[in-house]
Amino acid sequence: MASEFDLIARHFTRTAPGDILGVGDDCALFPVPPGMQVAVSKDLLIAGRHFYPDADPVSVGHKSLAVNLSDLAAMGAQPLGCLLGLALPSMDEAWLAAYARGFHALAQASGCPLIGGDTTRSLHDLTLSVTVFGAVPAHAALRRDAACPGDDIWISGELGAADIAYRLLDGQLPADAARLARTRRALEWPQPRLALGQGLRGLAHAAIDISDGLAQDLGHILAASGVGAELRYADLPRAAGLEGLDEATLQRALLGGGDVYELCFTAPAQRRDAVMQAAHASQTPVTRIGRIVAADGLCVLDAQGQALPHIPGGFDHFGGVA
């Protein structure tokens, strides 16, 4: 068994950058730039709950790191490194090699080297546990509790595709190969918005990444900040591949769909030009979708300025209603 796990270790061990002590000691060691705080986040992913056991392992490797990097992006942090815990019921070296390839490709592209972790045999479940570390200047982190009445509400990228792809794969929507082909990349290859997050330091008031759905995750900002919000439904950026869906399905995908990993953030209305510059500099599309108000609660206005009677709740795709 030792040799099997040594084999795994080799798939995951890369030479750490010169100033980092990586795999092979009791701890990994890394420096933190002066004046910076450390931002940390951790997610567990279990085959059959958080991803399909037969999903492309390269995409699983990518996504298991991406969802953690997205948390760093939402704080405005730059990645420093990551740890990977693998609990495996059995050896499937081809799966592991492909998983490692997806993981390392994103780690390298994001400047987030894998510097340590743990591998063990499990009894039943295949569990992935990723921890990421980043650096953010003290007092410049993008928190959830800093939204102010009058702030614009912005979102990066587009909404809805991951939700539709999930429902097609899960059989909740009738099979539609063409639609699936246009939407599944959003589900399987989310792109953490690291450059945008760092560009919003000192500019955005509050930020969060959308994992459980826009309405629910924006709700976390509202609750933490003690404010409310008005969203303009017609302004929500729709992904390609959503054409021809019934209105209820579309609303649920845009407002309630999870697995999005775009940044929702608030910024003062007088900083619109600066936000657009940060978006341009980070090559990330952003859309203004509403505003923060003093009164509690979330209101979604239709094109006629009428409040939607029902706002779809958040949905954790693989875990049930969030």
List residues near a copy of itself by CB under 8 A.
1-2, 21, 24-32, 34, 36-44, 46, 48-50, 70-72, 74-75, 77, 81, 83, 85-87, 115-118, 120-125, 127, 129, 131, 133-134, 136, 138, 141, 143-145, 207-209, 224, 319-322
Distance separating alpha carbons of residues 288 and 238, to the nearest angstrom: 13
Calpha distance 245→253 (Å, rounded): 10
Query: Is 10 annotated as a binding-site member?
Result: no
CA 187 – CA 59 distance, rounded (Å): 10
List the beta bridge partners of residue 36: 137
Burial track 83-96 (b if 16+ CB lie within 10 A, e otherwise)? bbbbbbeeeeeebb
Give the list of residues 6+ apart from residue 189 with CB closer than 8 angstroms, or none.
Answer: 59, 62, 63, 66
Smallest distance, Å, CB 258 to a copy of itself? Answer: 13
State the SS3 of 147-214. CCCCCEEEEECCECHHHHHHHHHCCCCCCCHHHHHHHHHHHHCCCCCHHHHHHCCCCCCEEEECCCCH
Say whether 211 counts as a known binding-site residue: yes
CB of 116 to a copy of itself, least distance (A): 7
- Min dist. Cβ of residue 81 to a copy of itself (A): 8
Residues sharing a CB contact under 8 Å with residue 5, sequence separation 6 or more, in sequence order: 119, 121
Give whichever of 72 and 173 is closer to a copy of itself, judged by the CB atom: 72
What is the SS3 assignment for 231?
strand
* 144 annotated ligand-binding residue: yes
118 is in an annotated binding site: yes
| Between 219 and 241, CB nearer to a copy of itself | 219
Find all residues with CB under 8 Å of 176, minimum gap 6, and list them.
168
CB nearer to a copy of itself: pick between 23 and 180? 23
* 259 in a labelled binding site: yes
Tokens of 311: 């706002």
Rounded to the nearest whole angstrom, what is the least distance from the CB of residue 41 to a copy of itself in the complex? 4
Is 315 within any annotated ligand binding site?
Answer: yes
**Residue 49 assigned ligand-binding role:** no
Determine if residue 205 is labeled as part of a ligand binding site. no
Question: In the complex, what is the shortest distance from the CB of residue 305 to a copy of itself, in angstroms, rounded to a whole number?
Answer: 32
Max distance between CA atoms of the chain, in angstroms, equals 66
Q: Is 125 annotated as a binding residue?
A: no
Pick 134 or 241: Cβ nearer a copy of itself: 134
The helix/strand/coil state of 262 is: coil
Q: Rounded to the nearest whole angstrom, what is the least distance from the CB of residue 94 to a copy of itself in the complex? A: 22
- Nearer of residues 92 and 125 to a copy of itself, judged by Cβ: 125
Report, in Å, the least distance between residue 34 CB and a copy of itself: 7
Binding residues for ATP: 117-118, 144, 211
Binding residues for Mg(2+): 26, 41, 43, 71, 118, 209, 212
